[in-house]
Structure 1
Amino acid sequence: MKNKAMEARLATELETFLANRRTLHLSTLDENGHPYASYAPYATGEDCIYVLLSDIAVHGVNLKNNPKAAVLIVEDESESQTIFARIRVNYQVIAEHIPLDAGDDYDSAIDKLHQKQGDRIHNLSGMTDFNLFKLTPIGGRYVKDFGRAYAIAGNSLTGESIDHLRDGHQQREAIKANQ
């Protein structure tokens, strides 16, 4: 049986965590299927993440050619109580290019980026090589500490469900003793 109160609390924590971060790590695939890691400033929308990427940047080209990607948003090292268990959320996403002529969808996303990232967004969005992408989660994982990892199911940032992953770390000695 699922604990709806716990799921609601975790969803609120996750929303706060996302609101307090400004950049994400982005893993895209090149034309040969090789992964490419980068980062980008972001803003959240209704169940999605927005990024503004240049055609000059490898990750921008990669997303235009292959919409499958992964996102990692992680607690800053200086804020972490332990470097081995930084708070983080990762998502598998599908990217959608939102063209300039998309009207309100484009304008609303740029406004969200501007609110989070500042005036530079208006300068960059006015350049012809910059493209807006909407990253929609298809699942993910929220990790708060050792033994406190949660699977995020569904197509939203906080998931349609958040389930505690209970099969965790085991001591090597205990494994050997049970063999």
Structure 2
Amino acid sequence: MSKQEILNTRINEEVSDFIASRKSLMLSSIQPDGTPYASYAPFAIGDDCLYVLLSEIALHAVNLQHNPAASVLIIEDEDSAGELFARKRVNYSMQAALIELESEAWYQGIDILEARHGERIRNLSQLADFRLFRLSPEGGRFVKGFGRAFTLAGNSLAGEEVSHMRDGHKKRDDIKA
């Protein structure tokens, strides 16, 4: 196995384990006037996607229906982080798809969310204003700490191809004009 294959496998596993350890994500969507809007939502992991159940009363659901482009951040808790300035995190560029109510995909997504978050999901899914979205990655970045950042290329949560970002922080004196 090549060094690149070993790196891909190791980082893929770390990303998958990290995502599985978190239950909510930060979601950035785009408002109709083009301004960004940040929010959060509980999520579940599907087949190389994330599922979120959002109320149409909430701006993020309205935004995703008008513009499917989104950014997702899944981040280590402040209280358990060893270094506040270098919290472990993964972020993705995503495309959101609204899942048709009561379709096979709807029931599959609701089942996945319920398995992760319990009966509340089933109850919320019965309310008329709740919509299920599938968030599909279009690349991302996994940060484990200072000097340990990785680009995740491809359309999978763990990254189809991983590359270590080696152009890191530089002291001001080291930068030539």
Q: Which band: TM-score by shorter chain?
A: over 0.9
Supply the distance in 2 between the matched residues of 1:118 and 1:169 (Cα, whole angstroms): 43
1:115-130 → structure 2 map (5 Å cutoff) = 115-130=115-130
Gapped regions of structure 1 (runs ≥ 5): none
Supply the distance in 2 between the matched residues of 1:124 and 1:133 (Cα, whole angstroms): 14
Supply the distance in 2 between the matched residues of 1:161 and 1:59 (Cα, whole angstroms): 30
Structure 1 residue ranges (4+ consecutive) displaced by more than 3 angstroms after TM superposition: none
Supply the distance in 2 between the matched residues of 1:108 and 1:9 (Cα, whole angstroms): 29
What percentage of aligned pairs have identical amino acids? 51
Aligned to 2:168: 168
- Counterpart of 1:131 in 2: which secondary structure? strand
1:102 partner letter: S
1:1-179 → structure 2 map (5 Å cutoff) = 3-103=4-104, 105-175=105-175, 178-179=176-177
The alignment's TM-score, normalised by the length of structure 2, stands at 0.96
Distance apart, 1:2 and its partner CA:
5.7
Gapped regions of structure 2 (runs ≥ 5): none
Supply the distance in 2 between the matched residues of 1:40 and 1:101 (Cα, whole angstroms): 21
Supply the distance in 1 between the matched residues of 2:113 and 2:162 (Cα, whole angstroms): 27
1:107 partner letter: Y
Distance apart, 1:80 and its partner CA:
0.4
The alignment's TM-score, normalised by the length of structure 1, stands at 0.95
